[in-house]
Structure 1
Amino acid sequence: MARKIGSRYTAHQILGRGSAGTVWLGEGPEGPVAVKLLREDLASDQELVGRFVQERTALLGLEHPHIVTVRDLVVDGNDLALVMDLVRGTDLRTRLERERRLAPEAAVAIVADVADALAAAHAAGIVHRDVKPENVLLDMQGPLGPGGAHPALLTDFGVAKLIDSPKRTRATKIIGTPDYLAPEIVEGLPPRAAVDIYALATVLYELLAGFTPFGGGHPGAVLRRHVTETVVPLPGIPEELWQLLVQCLAKAPASRLRASELAARLREQLPTLAGIPPLEVDEPDPAEEETTEAVPAAPGAPEPVRRKGAVPLVPGARPDSNRDTHTSMRVPAPDELAGGAHGTARVPRAAGAPRPGSARHRAAVRRRRITLGVAAATLAAVAGIGVWLASADGDDPPPRPSHSTSAP
């Protein structure tokens, strides 16, 4: 069912739903567009509407080959919408779900494109604040790059900043997607350009490994890992690329590269990555796998819906990921960040090895203990027989056991 968005645009079809609103396939004076219509409760917030209008000039002026261009910002009654270019392709989360992990050359080419987009945004004084695979679109009509990667475009600029208004998030709350939040955000510091670099490095790690370095389990545990844990090396990753990742995942924002530096350094790595297959590692943390196992539905009940995918500005998009873009979380207290973190690092395993703590791992430990126990008993029995045979072959009978008593 079509609906009017302002006086210039018509929304025809829902492409996807996210935590901040709904993305529509629309039509404008210059052809097809993607319209992100924010939730009604956001549109009724006059403070947010004011911030929306203030961001108009900055967002409309943000143009770059690797940024999804914002064509218009519409404020019309209860409608608050961003009108953007329609990208013919898919989003990075969908590709990651399909392939699990990418070859290093393709992963680095995609991330280099996004780093270029961030460099342009940061130069304009705009921090994205929500860099993640859901917000990276792959233009399937664009020319193929290194590793067969399609051009990558970053979208959803300004949305996190609009949602994160003082009225909605007090000093004890943070806005963002837990897996990609920089440590300084967790500690309550204001977001600077370095938070985007940390998030993008997390995305690169995820493209290579198939999982994020600090994700898994309860959001509070994820936040604590960002502050207290050190990223663990990935088996098989080239050393120079790994050192680049480590620098951009540094806890101290000043230690990270700028976006332009990151893009240049990544492209320098591309010739050395040609032909390297995807890494053979398995996700270390069983928490997510164990909590997302299918639960049998009651007789006659519909199958449970798995909320995966993203809200890309593309035709045929699927629903938003359960890693919501604007999840409001409590900032952990200093004692919470300092305590309980030991042992929570997610250590990647060789492919096929059981996850520590999983049922498969515990069964393997039990089998190993039983095997060792049987082997020890067998050795003891063999040793005993050997002593008896040695005694039987001698001239004297084996000595009787002696019993001693202690003096009174």
Structure 2
Amino acid sequence: MESGDGFVAGEVPRIDPKWLIDPKQLFVGPRIGEGAHAKVYEGKYKNQNVAIKIVHRGDTPEEVAKRESRFVREVAMLSRVQHKNLVKFIGACKEPVMVVVTELLLGGSLRKYMVNMRPRSLEPRAAVVFALDIARAMECLHSHGIIHRDLKPENLLLTADLRTVKLVDLGLAREETLTEMMTAETGTYRWMAPELYSTVTLRHGEKKHYNHKVDVYSFAIVLWELLHNRLPFEGMSNLQAAYAAAFKNIRPSADDLPEELAMILTSCWKEDPNARPNFSQIVQMLLHYLSTLQPPEPMIPPRVFSSENAILPPESPGTSSLMAIRDDIGDTPKANLEDRSRGIFFCFSQCY
């Protein structure tokens, strides 16, 4: 029996052997982030700096089976898609724990970058350039029939030079189907498309029909944040924001924006998913708007964040997971794990 998210009861998930890595060659360093289902660490693999995502296996047999299926699905999707605005997949292993290894992005999350800028906002050109990076990543995913379902600033990372945004975390992504029901209320409420919101709020896991246009709505909310550097739906809780968007058709204000940008925003967050543009159209609209702007001013050398020169607080709880050493790794004293300044790394196979 298959659930709405593609989990087949009794099926033993498998990973293509060519993507399996030897855990003995993994070295785990400081934790750089965490989400509801995983923690991510800075690490090394074959002398390459990497991000090591360690997925929580779950506590019950049902939860373990579901997490394993989701893990294998994520690995399969990561191995299928390659794009300069998608985090580069390096490999995975399922034992002794479920691990996804990707390139290490030292610029931190888009969320941290913007919070550190406040009360200032991004220059309009910089905001649109970042939005283009995101739109191109989403265009690539959708061209492979993949819906992300959790597009938000926590799942967007910056390169070390702070000039390029890359999309991470396919933990909630899935392949689109025209007939299969999919899980409602998937993602993070504040950025969630209205059609994802369940009318019975507490019935998390309810199944609904929706398509790739849920990502277009989420993109619009992220674009609004890029342009304003404020939290969307200010003064509301995450749940209140989702309810207001779904049942009162409330959106953040685009009144203070240039007409062309406002049109892009409002078209992307329309209530009717079929009326929203696709990401190929969005890329063209952003490129056209970018062509109307003045050339950029000389850039100030960027400040580079890394675990060796700045320890930032972990991400807020949520489903983001590629911003993410377990606090309980083996018997390693926690004090040693906190010693970031000396760049200490521990052999993954010894930890487990």
Same fold (TM over 0.5): yes
How far apart are residue 42 of structure 1 and its match? Answer: 7.0
Name the residue aligned to 2:319. Answer: 325
Is 2:267 aligned against 1:247?
Answer: yes
User: Gaps (5+ residues) in structure 1?
Assistant: 142-148, 163-169, 278-311, 327-408
Cα distance in 2 for partners of 1:244, 1:92 equals 21
Identify which of 43, 61, 85 aligns with 2:103. 85
Q: 1:204 matched to which residue of 2?
A: 223
Q: Name the structure, 1 or 2, with higher relative contact order (CA <8 Å, separation 6+).
A: 2
1:18 counterpart residue number? 35
Q: Contact conserved, 1:86 with 1:314, CA < 8 A, in 2?
A: no
Q: Once the 2 structures are TM-superposed, how far is the Cα of residue 105 of structure 1 from its aligned partner?
A: 1.4
Alpha-carbon distance between aligned partners in 2 of 1:220 and 1:47, rounded to the nearest angstrom: 25
Give 1:9's match in structure 2, choosing from 5, 26, 36.
Answer: 26
Find the partner of 2:197 among 177, 183, 186.
186
Q: CA deviation at 1:183?
A: 0.4
Match of 1:75 in 2: 94
Partner of 1:38: 55
The alpha-carbon deviation at position 55 of structure 1 amounts to 4.1
1:248 partner letter: C
The CA RMSD over aligned residues, in Å, is 3.0
One-letter amino acid matched to 2:58: D
Paired letter, 2:172: A
- Greater shift after overlay, 248-257 or 5-14? 5-14
Contact 2:31 2:42 in 1 (8 A): yes
2:165 aligns with 152
2:186 alignment partner in structure 1: 175
**Preserved CA contact (<8 Å) 2:31 2:41:** yes
Look up the match of 1:344.
none
Amino acid at match of 2:312: R
* Counterpart Cα distance in 2 of 1:54 and 1:236: 42
- Corresponding letter in the other structure for 2:44: E
1:74-101 CA-to-partner distances (Å, cap 9, x unmatched) read: 2003x11111111132221111102233
The 1-side partners of 2:249 and 2:154 are apart by: 25
Residues 13, 25 of structure 1: 8 Å contact kept: yes
Q: Which amino acid in structure 2 is aligned with residue 204 of structure 1?
A: L
Partner of 2:117: 99
Kept in 1: contact 2:32–2:314 (CA 8 A): no
Shift of 1:261: 1.3
Residue aligning to 2:149: 129
1:203-258 Cα deviation digits (max 9, x unpaired): 11012123344354233321211112343543531101101100001111111111
In structure 1, give the amino acid aligned to 2:272: A
d(CA) in 2 for partners of 1:156 and 1:118?
A: 12
The equivalent of 2:338 in structure 1 is none
Q: 1:60 aligns with which of 79, 90, 94?
A: 79
Taking a change above 3 Å as real, the CA distance of residues 229 and 275 of structure 1, as seen in their structure-2 partners, is farther
The offset of 1:176, in angstroms, is: 1.8
Asked whether the equivalents of residues 205 and 212 of structure 1 are also in contact (C-alpha less than 8 Å), the reply is no
Alpha-carbon distance in structure 1 between the residues aligned to 2:130 and 2:112: 14
> 8 Å contact 1:5–1:11 — kept in the other structure?
no
Change (3 A) 1:56 1:95: closer
How does 1:221-240 map onto structure 2 within 5 Å? 221-227=240-246, 228-231=248-251, 233-240=253-260
- In structure 2, what residue type is equivalent to 1:322? S
Is the partner of 2:208 in helix, strand or coil?
Answer: coil
Larger radius of gyration: 1
Please give the alpha-carbon distance, in whole angstroms, between the structure 1 residues aligned to 2:318 and 2:99. Answer: 19
CA contact under 8 A between 2:188 and 2:318: conserved in structure 1?
yes
Which portions of structure 1, spanning 4 or more consecutive aligned residues, are displaced by more than 6 angstroms?
312-315
Q: Percent identity?
A: 27
TM-score of the superposition, structure 1-length normalised? 0.60
Look up the match of 2:15: none
CA contact (8 A) 2:245 2:251 kept: no
